[in-house]
Structure 1
Amino acid sequence: MREGFFCKIVGLIGVSGLFLQQAVAQDASVLLADREDETQETVLPYYDYDHIPDFTYEEVEKRISEMDTDMPFELNETIFAFIDYFTVRNRDYTRMVLARQEMYFPMFDEVLSRHDMPEDIKYLAIIESGLNPRARSRVGAIGLWQFMPATGKEYQLYINSHVDDRMDPEKSTDAAIRYLKALNRRFNSWELALAAYNCGPGNVNKAIRRSGGKRTFWGIYRYLPRETRSYIPQFQAIMYVLRHADKHNLILEEPAYTVDHEKVTLGTGFTFENLAKHTGLCLEDLELLNPSLLRSEVPEFGKNISLNVPRYQHAYITENMDWLVDSLETTQQRYLASLPEKEEKPLHNITYRVRSGDVLGKIAQRYGVSVNQLKNWNNLYSNTIRIGQVLHIYQDSDTFEKSLASSQQQNSDSDNSAGKMYTVQPGDSLWLISRKLDGVTIDQLKKLNNLNNNQIKPGQKLKIG
């Protein structure tokens, strides 16, 4: 019996050992599988974007001295501070322009070569706009090269409520290069030409005079506007940073590339949406390639406007040009026919002379128009107006009559108010004046005229009702 009992015990231990071996083997296989997964994870490409390599002034100075450029410069503390800014404190901005450079630099290089200009001028667009063709400054400068309206028109950039060529990368680049070329001829120095591009030739001439006739940027540095003093050092810092981005661990995995495109002319008076429906083009591509068309449409103008379309659809569009133009015209005509007819109302041209305390918003509210309408009618590029300036305001008959009635009411109220005034005579006091006027007390006179005491003087005008 004991032998049977011991046999059973030995059998159970054997079976348990078998199960234990299988369990251990299973756990071991799981562990090995986990280790294999871990091994696979560790061999995947990994970039430490947060690692910022150390660098010294001497290292940067040596790299700059070895740069191959038509616009050489010497490193100083100001430029070094901006290099530190772009490589340490604002690395996100630098990565952003690194990603965008392939979209515009090839076109910049072509235009600069055509005008026999230094290739490094292309870096100026980074300082101006961060390579954003729709960039807009607080003072109204727009586009890759930040043209103000007056300068843009001087260099044949068309600007209205439908089209703004300052946002056209090709047209604005050609205009900017021609402008910079003219400034360089004037100052015979690229640094001074760039400074004039930023603050205007007048300010550079003034700085030259105040410096005693010096004609270098650092010679007139202290006499330039504050923004311009940092403008050239930023430009020179970017020249260095984009050449040596890898030295500062500014790694770019996926640069942005522009959509290859060709120009076509399809007439006028159609929307991007309709063109996309008829051709299968991507609406977003059309808007990306044509940023100067502000309303995503080709407006009805006296001249045809060339449209950028993706190259892969260019052949299809040119082969079916007649059918496509006819279809777009038909769609537009049907759309216009579906609109309710509006009765044409005659417009009245009102001239208004700006007075002290006036602002565009106040004038627009008074005449029932918008600030943008005031600016368009009077060719204003900002909200600044001056006393005595004449503004033209256009109103239909209904609005004109309401404004006229309101103006007459204001004049009537002014006349009534003027009739309830009293001029203080010699010997008058508030008590005597209150006795002369039935139902008016001294306290009422003081409240009406914001008086803190009973002192009045001859000739003073008092409201009495």
Structure 2
Amino acid sequence: MKALKFIFLALLLVAEGFASQPNLMRANHDYILNQFGIENNESSQNVVAGIFRAIDAGDRRQFKHIVTSQSHNAYLVKTEIDNIEAPEFLLYLAMVESHLKNTVTSGASAGGMWQLMPTTAKNFGLRVDNAVDERRDPAASTDAAFSYILHLKQNFGKWYLALMAYNCGEQRLRNAINATGSDDLGRLLKSKALPTETKNFIKRIIKYAYIAQNENMRKILLFENEPWGLKRIAVAPGTKLSAVAKQIGISPSQMQDYNAHIKNGISPLNGKYFFYIPQSKYAEFVVNQGILQAYEPRLKNRKGKAKGALAGLTDELSAKNKKVVALNNIKFNK
């Protein structure tokens, strides 16, 4: 993820009118416009102010419920965002797409927390087959989703356009921009050429960006004194989720929830693979690993140092993701 951190930092530095963290007790429209790459003019101010005024108590309850009910995933994504200094609205993207649930599948067959289509997932290095669906792997899918959104940012130049393309597809957004004659947010939101779903999608992400400015919501996103971390452990071929659950003292349903990427409740038979367990249960896993015929993998980055929530991603996965490598030399339009 080192390359991704470099790119995210570069994007933040070239953003026009870079703003500091706003006063968390009030709305800051300039901050929102800056974060999403929306042109800061009177028209855009009116657009985002209208989205802000539409926030109600239900929106705030839903924001809090999603983060607290899916704390492990929220913690993982927020930690990685902080580690590579990516825009925080990437967390809100996943909240809107799936409510941070790894098990969600759309009618169009998009799956996982980031609602990736099978082809997109494979293009960005994820394994999707009869044994494993890594769109439901919280760490690997986050890595792929971040890479995909960077790809979209490269193509469209502005964050809000990249987010809309994430929802409706690159070509459909291009068609909407061409039909509208502009990529201005306000004009696109009024255009019949842009799908209603996509209009609601970007509005909800912006709503969450406003809600997250509230002091109480900031406290929730700090995850202080709460052991939400997951530990990635490698297991032998054919290891059952239920066997590991029993040995570390959690329910089979909990184990399955942490490992939605594992199909049929068993690790692939064609090689060593990995499960996730709560960080707090790792000592029990080590004690029993002989029984489980499992082992703790040495999964480090190229310099041998662990890297945040995605420390478990292997170099093999990074090597598969040729698109990420190509992003090293991207030049973005302001």
TM superposition score category, shorter chain reference = 0.5 to 0.7
Match of 1:318 among 270, 279, 286: 286
Instruction: For residue 295 of structure 1, give the secondary structure of its aligned residue in structure 2.
Output: helix
Partner of 1:70: 35
Q: Does 1:266 align with 2:235?
A: yes
Say if 1:282 and 1:163 are closer, same or farther in 2 by CA, change over 3 A: same
Partner of 2:194: 224
Match of 1:287 among 217, 236, 256: 256
- How far residue 263 of structure 1 moved from its aligned partner, in angstroms, is 2.0
Say if 1:94 and 1:264 are closer, same or farther in 2 by CA, change over 3 A: closer
Identity %: 25
Q: Does 1:235 align with 2:208?
A: no
CA contact (8 A) 2:67 2:74 kept: no
- How far residue 165 of structure 1 moved from its aligned partner, in angstroms, is 0.9
The TM-score with structure 2 as length reference comes to 0.66
**d(CA) in 2 for partners of 1:77 and 1:219?**
10
CA deviations on 1:134-163 (whole Å, 9 max, x unpaired) are 122122111111111111111122122332
Counterpart of 1:304, as a letter, is K
Match of 1:149 among 113, 118, 121: 118
**d(CA) in 1 for partners of 2:283 and 2:225?**
25
Counterpart of 1:64, as a letter, is N
Partner of 2:76: 107
**d(CA) in 2 for partners of 1:217 and 1:61?**
26
**d(CA) in 2 for partners of 1:79 and 1:66?**
10
Counterpart of 2:145, as a letter, is A
Instruction: For residue 70 of structure 1, give the secondary structure of its aligned residue in structure 2.
Output: helix
Q: Which runs of 5+ in 1 are unaligned?
A: 1-59, 327-465
- How far residue 312 of structure 1 moved from its aligned partner, in angstroms, is 3.6
Partner of 1:57: none
Alignment of 1:284-363 (within 5 A): 284-300=253-269, 302-325=270-293
Partner of 1:206: 175
- How far residue 114 of structure 1 moved from its aligned partner, in angstroms, is 5.3
Say if 1:99 and 1:281 are closer, same or farther in 2 by CA, change over 3 A: closer
**d(CA) in 1 for partners of 2:234 and 2:74?**
26
| Structure with greater contact order relative to length (CA < 8 Å, sep ≥ 6) | 2
Counterpart of 2:28, as a letter, is I
CA contact (8 A) 1:142 1:167 kept: yes
- How far residue 98 of structure 1 moved from its aligned partner, in angstroms, is 3.9
Partner of 1:332: none
Instruction: For residue 128 of structure 1, give the secondary structure of its aligned residue in structure 2.
Output: helix
Q: Does 1:189 align with 2:140?
A: no
Say if 1:208 and 1:287 are closer, same or farther in 2 by CA, change over 3 A: same
Counterpart of 2:130, as a letter, is S
Instruction: For residue 237 of structure 1, give the secondary structure of its aligned residue in structure 2.
Output: helix
- How far residue 183 of structure 1 moved from its aligned partner, in angstroms, is 0.6
Say if 1:132 and 1:150 are closer, same or farther in 2 by CA, change over 3 A: same
- How far residue 62 of structure 1 moved from its aligned partner, in angstroms, is 6.0
After TM superposition, where is structure 1 displaced by more than 6 Å over at least 4 residues in a row? none
- How far residue 64 of structure 1 moved from its aligned partner, in angstroms, is 2.4
CA deviations on 1:347-396 (whole Å, 9 max, x unpaired) are xxxxxxxxxxxxxxxxxxxxxxxxxxxxxxxxxxxxxxxxxxxxxxxxxx
Moved more, 227-236 or 178-187: 227-236
- How far residue 96 of structure 1 moved from its aligned partner, in angstroms, is 1.4
CA contact (8 A) 2:115 2:135 kept: yes
**d(CA) in 2 for partners of 1:265 and 1:139?**
32
**d(CA) in 1 for partners of 2:48 and 2:184?**
16
The TM-score with structure 1 as length reference comes to 0.49
Q: Does 1:163 align with 2:128?
A: no
**d(CA) in 2 for partners of 1:151 and 1:256?**
36
Instruction: For residue 309 of structure 1, give the secondary structure of its aligned residue in structure 2.
Output: strand
CA contact (8 A) 1:266 1:306 kept: yes
Say if 1:101 and 1:127 are closer, same or farther in 2 by CA, change over 3 A: same
**d(CA) in 2 for partners of 1:293 and 1:94?**
28
- How far residue 173 of structure 1 moved from its aligned partner, in angstroms, is 0.8
**d(CA) in 2 for partners of 1:281 and 1:98?**
22
Instruction: For residue 263 of structure 1, give the secondary structure of its aligned residue in structure 2.
Output: strand
